[in-house]
């Protein structure tokens, strides 16, 4: 059966792993940790990253949802005098590598099904490459991917197209035959700029109305991707 693509590049958070189930709960613990239990400081830190303490969820407007760990640290630093951005980023990276991951679907069979159809697979995240590899290894799926990159891998960060084009080059597939799959406009804008097909998924923080203008399709989750690829 002919497929729409020869390769699939996934975002990580909100795409392979449910964003709120993984990161909103993780953030609640990290903000309390950074503030050492100071309630007023917890409130200032939450406000800095648009995190709703009562709901224990990031607001859709949060600048860290599609950002890098450095950008998250820069948001938090003004509320943490005496702690520089690099130290905050290092703390976030160390804690993120141990985050309790919640896959959106059983990942191994999903990815094995795609590979069995001859598709090359990759991950490009605005997280660190170290964090990405740690998370994929913890989920038992690291070896399923031909390419794993973070914002610090030397290709840049989304929404720039360069890291997506690096994946296409690494697997020897023309960009037009690659599908970028992500939960944010950053992912889809990067895909468009790279000349790739774009699929949005609703396992992050963005609603369908936000993703649709940038996507060839918006799916409930990556479990629906095989049917779309074969359509």
The model's pLDDT over 125-139, given as tens digits with 9 standing for 90+, comes to: 998 898 899 999 999
Mean pLDDT over 129-154 rounds to 95
Residue 200 structure tokens? 């949005």
Please identify which residue in the block is written with the tokens 């159809």. 117
Q: Domain spanning 7-18+103-230: which CATH class is it, in words? A: alpha beta
Query: Residue 142: is its pLDDT beyond 70?
Result: yes
For residue 138, how many other CB atoms are within 10 A of its CB? 14
Burial class (CB within 10 angstroms; exposed 0-12, middle 13-18, buried 19+) of 227: exposed
Please identify which residue in the block is written with the tokens 């960060």. 157
Query: Residue 1: is its pLDDT beyond 70?
Result: no
Are 231 and 4 spatial neighbours (Cβ–Cβ below 8 Å)?
A: yes
Q: What is the pLDDT of residue 226?
A: 96
> First CA to last CA across the chain, in angstroms?
10
pLDDT in tens, 98-120: 888 899 999 999 999 999 999 99
Q: What is the 3-state secondary structure (H, E, C) of the chain?
A: CCCCCCEEEECCECCCECHHHHHHHHHHHHHHHHHCCCHHHHHHHHHHCCEECCCCEECCCCCCCCCCHHHHHHHHHHHCCCCCHHHHHHHHHHHHCCCCCCECCCHHHHHHHHHHCCCEEEEECCCCHHHHHHHHHHCCCHHHCCEEECCCCCCCCCCCCHHHHHHHHHHCCCHHHEEEEECCHHHHHHHHHCCCEEEEECCCCCCHHHHHHHCCEEECCHHHHHHHHHC
Helix-helix angle 162-171:185-193, to 10 degrees: 60
Of 171, 173, 151, which Cα lies nearest the Cα of 162?
Answer: 151
Its pTM stands at: 0.88
Domain ranges of the chain: 7-18+103-230, 20-96
Mean pLDDT over 37-63 rounds to 93
Query: Residue 179: is its pLDDT beyond 80?
Result: yes
Q: How high does pLDDT run on average in the chain?
A: 94
Query: Residue 205: is its pLDDT beyond 70?
Result: yes
Burial class (CB within 10 angstroms; exposed 0-12, middle 13-18, buried 19+) of 106: exposed
Query: Residue 213: is its pLDDT beyond 80?
Result: yes
């Amino acid at each position: 059966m002919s497929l729409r693509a020869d390769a699939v590049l996934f975002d990580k958070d909100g795409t392979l792993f449910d964003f709120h189930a993984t990161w909103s709960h993780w953030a609640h613990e990290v903000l309390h940790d950074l503030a050492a239990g100071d309630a007023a400081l917890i409130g200032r830190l939450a406000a800095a990253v648009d995190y709703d303490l009562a709901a224990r969820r990031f607001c859709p407007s949060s600048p860290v949802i599609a950002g890098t760990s450095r950008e998250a640290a820069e948001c938090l630093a003004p509320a943490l005098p005496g702690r520089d951005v690099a130290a905050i980023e290092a703390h976030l990276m160390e804690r993120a590598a141990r985050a309790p991951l919640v896959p959106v679907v059983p990942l191994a069979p999903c990815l094995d099904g795609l590979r069995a159809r001859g598709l090359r697979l990759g991950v490009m995240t605005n997280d660190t490459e170290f964090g990405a590899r740690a998370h994929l290894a913890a989920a038992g799926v690291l070896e399923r991917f031909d390419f794993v990159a973070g914002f610090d891998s030397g290709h840049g960060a989304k929404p720039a197209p360069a890291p997506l084009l690096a994946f296409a080059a690494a697997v020897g597939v023309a960009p037009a035959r690659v599908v970028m799959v992500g939960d944010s406009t950053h992912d889809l804008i990067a895909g468009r700029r790279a000349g790739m097909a774009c699929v949005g998924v609703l396992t992050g923080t963005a609603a369908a109305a936000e993703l649709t203008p940038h996507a060839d399709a918006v799916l409930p989750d990556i479990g629906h991707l095989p049917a779309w690829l074969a359509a």
